[in-house]
Amino acid sequence: MVEGAGTANELFTVVGATAYDEKIQNKKNHRKIPHRKKPVVSMLILGLIVTGCVLAPWVANHDPAGFNLTALNTPPNGEFYFGTDALGRDLYSIMFYGGRTSLAIGILGAAIIAVIGTVYGSLSGTLPDRVDAVMMRIAETGGSIPTLLMVLILSAIIPEKNIFTLSFIIGITGWFGMARIVRSEVRQIRNCEYVLYARCSGGGFFYVMWRHLLPNFLSAIMFVVVSNISTCITMESTLSFLGLGLPVDVLSWGSMLSLANRALIMNTWWVIVIPGLFLVVTLLCITNVADYLRREVNRQPSHL
């Protein structure tokens, strides 16, 4: 009896120690992996670009709308860091002032997509199956139409273009994918006890969505929201390149790219390369951050 008890105690001690060591090792690995996968460089570059755009009046060294007739199509030098365009405007100053417009459209457009997609998807996920099926068919039909085509049609219908109208046009045509993701998440948690209790207690749709549904799927859609920022910036640049974007007097990265044809004829490479480089680097950084958020969400265990 004594020997058996001793053997059991030794076995318990060994297993307990092994489990404890394994737990400690898992914690160490869990701490190391996120730091190794964080897009630190992308975050740093994106932070510098955003900071420069926010502080454009202090960062710019020339008037972005000023015409310097003595320095037309000047290549990059000590006075004009990024050179000038055919009108003598300083590209260095335009990049930061124009970045404010492009980033504002990206953020506003992504916010509109998030609001419409969240409300529509939550409503579809909580309503009866027949209504849900009809709403999803509407979303799928809208998602099957090319976004650029819908944006071009609305741009032709709405004559006045500014930051808010262009953000609205981009947002109103890009919420279909967000709605399907939100609906899928809501369908998984709509029958949870706390959601049913809130609805039985008289909680309205927006109350239940804000207090119970949104906190549970917010992390799952965060990477989609961030990705939509780059999508909206790309759409604004495309419209400006096609001549359907903002007015000429409104500076943006897209409006700078619209001068590409003239720059090619005049062999002023910096007018094309520098705005394009700013745009591509910003989009890549946003994409890397969104991809990091997606990986973090996928690593989290489900609590359903």
Tell me which CATH code domain 42-68+80-299 carries: 1.10.3720.10
What per-residue confidence (pLDDT) applies to 135? 92
Report which of 240, 73, 20 is spatially closest to residue 151, judged by C-alpha positions.
240
Instruction: Identify the weakest region by mean pLDDT among 113-127, 248-262, 290-304.
Output: 290-304
> To the nearest whole number, what is the mean pLDDT of the chain?
81
Residue percentage of the chain with pLDDT more than 90: 28
pLDDT at 27 (0 to 100) = 52
Top pLDDT among 268 and 5 is at: 268
Across 23-41, average pLDDT = 58
Nearest to residue 121, comparing CAs of 198, 197, 190? 190
HSE of 111, CA atoms in CB hemisphere, 13 A: 9
290: confidence class by pLDDT, cuts 50, 70, 90: confident
Domain ranges of the chain: 42-68+80-299
pLDDT over threshold 80, residue 262: no
Distance CA 284, CA 277 (A): 10
Rank 59-68, 106-115, 141-150 by mean pLDDT and report only the highest: 106-115
The pLDDT-based confidence of 298 (bands split at 50, 70, 90) is: low
Helical (H) or strand (E) element with 139:
helix 129-144
pLDDT of residue 111: 95
pLDDT score, position 281 = 92
Tell me: the pLDDT tens digits for 73-107? 888 888 888 888 888 888 999 999 999 999 999 99
Confidence of residue 229 (pLDDT cuts 50, 70, 90): very high
Q: What is the percent of the chain with per-residue pLDDT over 70, rounded to a whole number?
A: 86
pLDDT at 10 over 50: no
pLDDT for the residue numbered 19: 44
Q: Are 246 and 162 in contact (CB under 8 A)?
A: yes
User: Which region, left, alpha or beta, applies to residue 250 given φ > 0 means left and ψ of -120 to 50 means alpha?
Assistant: beta
Higher pLDDT, 75 or 260: 75
Lowest-pLDDT range of 23-27, 47-51, 97-101: 23-27
CA distances from 127 to 200, 204, 209 (A): 15, 13, 13
- The CA–CA distances, whole Å, from 245 to 47, 95, 141, 159, 165 equal 26, 17, 26, 10, 10
Q: Does residue 109 carry a pLDDT above 60?
A: yes
Residue whose token pair is 């004009």: 80
Using CA atoms, how far residue 14 sits from 3, 8, 98, 175, in Å, is 16, 10, 65, 56
User: What's the pTM value of the predicted model, to 2 decimals?
Assistant: 0.79
